[in-house]
């Protein structure tokens, strides 16, 4: 609680935004250094290699995301409400021309170091796991309907929302995401 945000956190903040907009292969240490007003060498002290920085980015992003999902579980008990809040989180991500960090990295998957690939799949697995729980809950109390297993439906849902974000951003129009997510959720009864 001493520093509101240490240097490593500020580095991650900038790198996160850069990856969300330009991709992992689309930014450099020089970009971060310029914005943070330090030298590139300083960055290497905190994150020895770009792969370390990338892996830390995913870990922190997932950590924040899971915290947000825990927040939903605390405040929202209705399965439909949970789904709508989940979709809304990704809607907020779209601000400033950003895209979901992990959706971006998924596109660059083939060029990522293994440490990042593993963490990336873990992120999506956790999305799937949480959504499957919500879908199961909604099926039990009759508020949500889906044709396949909760697991498969969750998997499809994650992909659909990631794709909706990607296209919405290409048109510079977040409302495209909102329209798409509303339609997708409507199919499930939410």
Partner DNA sequence: GTCTATAGGTGGATAGAC
Partner DNA sequence: GTCTATCCACCTATAGAC
Q: State the nearest-atom distance from the C-beta of 116 to DNA, in Å.
A: 12
Selected binder of DNA within 17, 21, 23, 44 (CB under 7 A): 44
Does 184 bind its own copies (CB under 8 A)? Our answer is yes
3-state secondary structure of 40: helix
How many residues at the interface with its own copies, by CB under 8 A? Answer: 45
CA–CA dist 27, 172 (Å, integer): 20
Selected binder of DNA within 9, 49, 64, 187 (CB under 7 A): 49
In 114-154, the DSSP E strands lie at: none
CA–CA dist 187, 13 (Å, integer): 36
CA nearest to 54, candidates 93, 26, 15: 15
> x/- contact string, 20-39, with DNA (CB under 7 A)?
-------xxxxx-----xxx
Does 153 bind its own copies (CB under 8 A)? Our answer is yes
User: Any idea what the Cα angle at residue 164 is, between residues 158 and 165, rounded to 5°?
Assistant: 90
Which residue number, 76 or 152, has a Cβ lying nearer to its own copies? 152
3-state secondary structure of 22: helix
Does 163 bind DNA (CB under 7 A)? Our answer is no
Selected binder of DNA within 16, 20, 50, 120 (CB under 7 A): 50
Paired tokens of 14: 């900038």
Binding site for DNA (CB under 7 A): 6-7, 27-31, 37-42, 44-46, 48-51
Question: Contact positions toward its own copies, by CB under 8 A?
Answer: 21-23, 25-26, 97, 99, 103-104, 106-111, 117, 120-121, 124, 147-148, 152-153, 155-156, 158-164, 166-171, 176, 179-180, 183-184, 186-187
């Amino acid at each position: 609680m001493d520093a509101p945000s240490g240097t490593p956190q500020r580095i991650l903040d900038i790198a996160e935004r850069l990856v969300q907009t330009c991709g992992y292969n689309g930014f450099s240490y020089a970009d971060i250094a310029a914005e943070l007003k330090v030298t590139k060498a300083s960055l290497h002290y905190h994150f020895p290699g770009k792969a370390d920085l990338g892996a830390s980015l995913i870990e922190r992003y997932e950590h924040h995301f899971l915290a947000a999902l825990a927040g939903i579980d605390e405040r929202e008990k209705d399965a439909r409400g949970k789904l709508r809040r989940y979709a809304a989180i990704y809607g907020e991500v779209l601000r400033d021309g950003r895209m979901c960090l992990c959706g971006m990295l998924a596109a660059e998957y083939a060029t990522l170091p293994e440490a990042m690939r593993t963490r990336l799949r873990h992120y999506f697995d956790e999305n799937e796991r949480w959504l499957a729980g919500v879908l199961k809950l909604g099926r039990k109390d009759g508020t949500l309907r889906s044709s396949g297993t909760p697991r498969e439906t969750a998997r499809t849902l994650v992909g659909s929302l990631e794709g909706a974000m990607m296209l919405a951003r290409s048109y510079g129009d977040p409302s495209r995401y909102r329209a798409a997510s509303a339609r997708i959720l409507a199919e499930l009864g939410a």
